[in-house]
Structure 1
Amino acid sequence: MLRLSALYRYPLKSAKGEVLNQVSLDKLGLDGDRRWMLVDEASGRFLTQRAVASMSQLSALWNAQGGLTLSAPGRAPIDIVLPGNEAQLRGVTIWRDTLRVPDAGDAASAWVSSFIGKPTRLVHVPLERARSTQAGYGKDDDQVAFADGFPLLLIGQASVEDLSQRVGRPLEMLRFRPNLVVEGSEAYAEDGWKRIRIGDVEFRVVKPCSRCILTTIDPQTGERSADREPLATLQGYRAQENGAMFGQNLVNDGNGRLEVGMPITVLE
């Protein structure tokens, strides 16, 4: 039997993940997932662990009002409220998308700038300012917050165990930053799924996830593995034209609630 064995949310793009037992879904995926992002103050370009490895040590907890609590080793935490209608809009760039989104204000900026080490702004994306998902996949009205391309990422527990065996050491699930983890399937079974149901919600499996250097960063220490693992192994047996694929991007059709332990049904 397939079941949902773990749930993860990443309130701030490229910061630490939250382990959840249950969560609601909205049009943009898990409630509160990657609704916040750090951008370079001068260019408006998004910041991630790819360029700023210390972001792996940045903790961002989401609250029910949509705000954030940011904390990091050796720093006093800061509570940030959801920007109101009067908030300044800031032009930002994430991959090929440019959009204008609310800025969290100067106090938040001072805190994140001190942490990053250069002038940085914290921005939020409300539902009405969300981006379209990657062209050529899914439906025309599919939307995403600040996740790379799609609202949700699913990985099979058996797939991570198989990769760990190939690499020769256990790999932490958070290296791969999934939202949903499936237990009870064979390794890479998710590659063949097109539609699944969890609880009352149906999900479309729209595209495999192309993996990058982030998988080589230890989620606990923020250090990159000297042997480029597990990316090197993935490139050896999971390479396609657009990269080494591991995990599947999903879009949820409708809102609802997820809870760890729920059965998963493969519809197609």
Structure 2
Amino acid sequence: MAAPLLLSDLYMYPVKSLGGIRVTEAAVEARGLRHDRRWLIVNERNQFMTQRQTAAMAHLKVASAYNGFLLSHQARPDLLPLFVPFEATPEKTLFATIWDDMVFAWRARPECDEWLSEALGQPSKLVYMSDMVRRDVEPEHNPEGQLVSFADGYPFLLIGQESLGELNTRLAEPVGMDRFRPNLVFSGGQPFGEDAWHDFRVGEVPFRAVRGCGRCILTTIDQQTARKNPHGEPLRTLASYRSQGSKNKVLFGQNVTGPGQGTLRVGDVISVDSFKS
């Protein structure tokens, strides 16, 4: 008898493109997991910043704190940890650009901008997405009108442990799941079995796997050292057998939409109700 599919890990990322917090339980909200990617770092032109262009962001670590989180710089012990609340106040605002979207955002405290500018060596600002903002999942895959936070395009990312394990059998140096920044990680099943999922439930909470997640250069950055792999791994190996479509997107993991409410717990049983046609 095959082992059941189980939710083995839950991650939420308070700040887009910074480290995640591993949790055992999480609330599902309209834009994804509660507190996930509601904060964003922007440059002096109010354009979003990620590790794609600023690999040094991998040095910034995120840890849980009461009603918020702590930012620290693993290579700069002289920079004292910075406390950031989970939610901001609308005292100062700006319009931030993320991909093709311009989003109304609330500013963090001035000391947050000062800390980040020092940590990253360039002018940086921290901004927050309030519940008043509507940012939609890409329209062609969004008949239900799903919302998304400052995540790239979807409120959830799902990856199977077996998929990472299979990839690591092909690599000279195995990589961790943190290269791929999932929210939902599950055990059981076959490698890349999640590619075929459509409707599924985690416990009693329904989700829909919409499409594969196209991967980028961020996967080549070691999240402990902030150094890019000189051989382009693991993206190079993934491209050798996980490229699909006319644009040869390198797919790993599934972009997922959810119900906007519910609670997830590590250990929840996952049931697949339908598969992609």
Answer yes or no: same fold by TM over 0.5. Answer: yes
Alignment correspondent of 2:9: 6
CA contact (8 A) 1:28 1:127 kept: no
Is the counterpart of residue 199 in structure 1 residue 200 in structure 2? no
Match of 1:34 in 2: 37
User: Could you say which residue in structure 1 is the equivalent of 2:58?
Assistant: 56
Distance (whole Å) between structure 2 residues aligned to residue 35 and residue 44 of structure 1? 16
1:75-90 to structure 2, matched below 5 A, reads 75-81=79-85, 82-85=87-90, 87-90=91-94
Residue matched to 1:126: 130
Give 1:70 deviation, angstroms.
1.6
**How many pairs are equivalent?**
265
- 1:68-126 CA deviation, whole Å, 9 max, x = no partner? 422113110122343223x2111111011111110113111111111111111100101
Q: Identity, % of aligned pairs?
A: 39
Question: Who is 1:231 aligned against?
Answer: 235
* Corresponding residue number in structure 1 for 2:176: 172
Paired residues of 2:244 and 2:251 also in contact (CA < 8 A): yes
Q: Is the 8 A contact 1:3 1:183 kept in 2?
A: yes
C-alpha distance in 1 between matches for 2:81 and 2:96: 25
Structure 1 segment 118-267 matched on structure 2, within 5 A? 118-241=122-245, 242=247, 243-267=249-273
The whole-number CA distance in structure 1 between the counterparts of 2:7 and 2:172 is: 26
TM-score (norm: length of structure 1): 0.95
The answer to whether the 8 Å contact 1:202/1:254 transfers is no
SS at match of 2:56: helix
Query: What SS class does the counterpart of residue 140 from structure 2 fall into?
Result: coil
Q: Deviations over 1:184-218 (max 9, x none)?
A: 11011100000110122100111110000011111
C-alpha contact 1:2 1:182 (8 A) present in aligned 2: yes
Match of 2:49 in 1: 47
Q: Output the aligned Cα RMSD.
A: 1.4
State the match for 1:69 in structure 2.
70
Q: TM-score of the superposition, structure 2-length normalised?
A: 0.92
Structure 2 counterpart of 1:206, one-letter code: V
5+ unaligned residues in a row in structure 2: which ranges?
A: none
The 2-side partners of 1:80 and 1:167 are apart by 37
2-structure distance, mates of 1:208, 1:133: 14
8 Å contact kept, 1:11–1:62: no
CA distance in 1: counterparts of 2:99 and 2:268, whole angstroms: 34
Comparing 136-145 with 32-41, greater Cα deviation is found at 136-145
**Equivalent position SS for 1:158:** helix
Render the CA deviation track for 1:124-171: whole Å, top value 9, x for unaligned: 101221411112113252100000000000001111111111123322
CA contact (8 A) 2:180 2:219 kept: yes
What amino acid does structure 2 have at the position aligned with 1:84? T
Q: Which of residues 102, 107, 116 is equivalent to 1:112?
A: 116
- What letter matches 2:183 in structure 1? N
